């Protein structure tokens, strides 16, 4: 993984730290025990439990390594919690109008993006269109279904 900055909110950083801790201190030791127990059963060539446990251990080790790099390069972004914000930036909560409906999004770093929770990445097409824009601006985003137009109602 390269050494680029990884932007996260304070809450996102805490969630990543928590996931890292759970994997490193609880799940990995459990899987290591499973591998040892399966190894003790003998013939590893035909031992599906051993193979499954080794694969799971490999996945967990990969995620721990990934989280370690993320945490090492994380830069905490502060959301602007006042109504005087004039430009959209990382951490901003943005209310937009799209096709006559109000939508509220929070602009976050790539690692915490969660479309279901209305957390959009600053690197997404909508995120890129919103960054640096202000209240009243209209933005256009190219989507698979065609162009979608958003009007920025407020920034918090």
What's the pLDDT tens digit per position in 74-125?
Answer: 998 875 554 456 899 988 999 999 988 999 999 998 888 998 999 999 999 9
Instruction: Find out whether 1 and 66 touch, Cβ atoms under 8 Å.
Output: yes
d(CA 136, CA 94): 11
What structural domains does the chain harbor?
6-76 (1.10.287.180), 79-155 (3.10.50.30)
What are the residues whose beta carbons fall under 8 Å from the beta carbon of 84, sequence distance 6 or more? none
Q: Looking at per-residue confidence, does 145 or 139 come out higher?
A: 139
Predicted local distance difference test score (pLDDT) of residue 80? 52
The dihedral built from the CA positions of residue 92, 97, 103 and 108, taken in this order, carries a sign that is negative
């Amino acid at each position: 993984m390269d050494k680029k900055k990884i932007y996260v909110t304070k809450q996102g950083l805490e969630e990543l730290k928590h996931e890292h801790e759970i994997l490193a201190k609880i799940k990995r030791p459990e899987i290591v025990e499973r591998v040892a127990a399966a190894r003790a059963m003998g013939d590893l060539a035909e031992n599906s439990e051993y193979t499954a446990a080794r694969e799971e251990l490999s996945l967990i080790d990969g995620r721990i390594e990934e989280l370690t790099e993320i945490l090492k390069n994380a830069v905490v972004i502060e959301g602007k919690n006042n109504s005087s914000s004039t430009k959209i930036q990382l951490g901003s909560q943005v209310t937009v109008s799209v096709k006559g409906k109000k939508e509220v999004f929070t602009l976050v770093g790539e690692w915490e993006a969660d479309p279901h929770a209305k957390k959009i990445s600053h690197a997404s097409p909508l995120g890129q269109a919103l960054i640096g824009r202000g209240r009243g601006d209209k933005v256009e985003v190219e989507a698979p279904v065609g162009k979608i137009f958003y009007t920025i109602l407020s920034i918090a």
